[in-house]
Amino acid sequence: MKGKKDRVVAIVPAAGIGKRFGEEKNKPFYLLLDKPLIIRTLEALQSVEEITEIIPVLKEDDLISCGDLIEKYNITKVKRIVPGGKERQDSVYNGIKILDDNTSIVLVHDGARPLAERDLIKRTIAGLKDCDGVVAGVPVKDTIKEVSRQKSEENEEIIVQKTLNRNVLWAIQTPQVFFFEKIRDAYGKATADKYYATDDAALMEWYGGKIKVVMGSYRNIKITTLEDILIAEAFIKNL
């Protein structure tokens, strides 16, 4: 039985418009082989015993459809579904705001990352020691260049400014894990200051928090375009 401050709650933002996905069906409900994408994500989180509750965050129009799927696939750790906000950050904050002081740790995981392995999720939670947040990430494989855009009357030129040191660059994924009170306070200040970050860890960095990276997985892709579905299917078939 978990004690008063042992609850680990997973917030799953999946309320984005998904313009780059290019399908009429909303991305969370797109079938990845035989299951909706959002269900594969929720099942991965359901399998982690440390997680006590999962809170999906979806568009208002998708709440009932998601609830029906959760019941169909018996995702028992979902007790509440929350409507999303204008931006991803607003959606995550909507999830955080309904939590109470019994929560110890908040884990944020993109609804569009259905291939996160159980071991990876567990390692991010276990890594939350002597820091304010833990994120999954992988070293970049490509050479990364910083560029500038120069517009002329006829076109736009993209000019290389410098080549960055690949040895110190990591591509950051989710899950991202934080102590509840710290991430709640960071989100509260960001909302008051109208500050928006590219991910939850960046917001915590802005708030002054120390973030640690644990090795993620190159399989832990984010489904952004239809091409990503083909990649994810290949990974699943070869598990």
For residue 227, pLDDT over 70 is answered with yes
Alpha helices (H) in 107-164, listed in sequence order: 118-126
For residue 2, pLDDT over 60 is answered with no
Is residue 84 a contact partner of residue 13, using CB atoms and an 8 Å limit?
Answer: yes
What was the pLDDT predicted at 13? 97
In the CATH scheme, what is the code of domain 7-132+172-237?
3.90.550.10
Instruction: Identify which of 235, 31, 227 has the alpha carbon closest to the alpha carbon of residue 116.
Output: 235
Cα separation, 37 vs 13, in Å, equals 13
Cα separation, 228 vs 234, in Å, equals 10
The average pLDDT across 145-159 equals 88
- Identity at 159, one-letter amino acid code: I
pLDDT in tens, 8-34: 999 999 987 556 565 556 788 999 999
Tokens read off for 97: 């705001």
What was the pLDDT predicted at 41? 98
Is residue 149 a contact partner of residue 157, using CB atoms and an 8 Å limit?
Answer: yes
What was the pLDDT predicted at 24? 54
- Give the CA angle between residues 1, 13, 3 to the nearest 5°: 15
For residue 121, pLDDT over 60 is answered with yes
pLDDT band of 1, cuts 50, 70, 90: very low
- Identity at 157, one-letter amino acid code: E
* DSSP E strands, 22-144: 31-32, 35-36, 53-58, 82-83, 103-108, 133-139
Cα separation, 66 vs 56, in Å, equals 9
For residue 151, pLDDT over 80 is answered with yes
Cα separation, 57 vs 11, in Å, equals 7
Average pLDDT over all residues of the chain: 93
The average pLDDT across 104-108 equals 97
For residue 80, pLDDT over 80 is answered with yes
What was the pLDDT predicted at 16? 72
Cα separation, 197 vs 190, in Å, equals 9
pLDDT band of 167, cuts 50, 70, 90: very high
Q: State the DSSP string of 4-32.
A: TT-EEEEEEE-----GGG--SS-GGGSEE
For residue 202, pLDDT over 70 is answered with yes
Q: What is the model's pTM?
A: 0.92
Domain locations in the chain?
Answer: 7-132+172-237
What was the pLDDT predicted at 18? 56
DSSP classification of residue 115? T
